[in-house]
Amino acid sequence: MNLINKIRYFFERHGFDVSSRLADRLGMRTANVRLFFVYISFVTLGVSFGIYLTLAFLLKLKDMIRTKRTSVFDL
């Protein structure tokens, strides 16, 4: 169990302290950096979902415009 605590302590010390280290280097408050990360994650999720909906709409529109004709007389 001691090895697991050492590994956890290592990651808590060096890995999860990213926002406070970045805030210290930029001279900002840590809460503002964390809030920025939350906002940017929502923006990137929203943009990708918007692209997905746009492509689905365009594919549906393409299918509606370009229908398969069975014979020459369907023109």
Q: What is the pLDDT of residues 22-74, one digit of tens each?
A: 889 999 998 898 899 889 988 998 898 999 999 999 998 888 777 666 667 76
Residue 49 lies in a domain: yes
**Segments forming the whole domain that contains residue 22:** 2-66
Residue 27 lies in a domain: yes
Domains in the chain: how many in total? 1
**Cβ within 8 Å of residue 75, ≥6 positions away:** 69
Give CA torsion, residues 31, 34, 38, 40, to 10 deg.
Answer: 110
Write down the pTM of the prediction: 0.54
Residue 36 lies in a domain: yes
Residue 74 lies in a domain: no
- For residue 33, the tally of other CB atoms under 10 A from its CB is 17
Residue 13 lies in a domain: yes
**Residue 66 — φ and ψ, nearest 5°?**
-105, 90
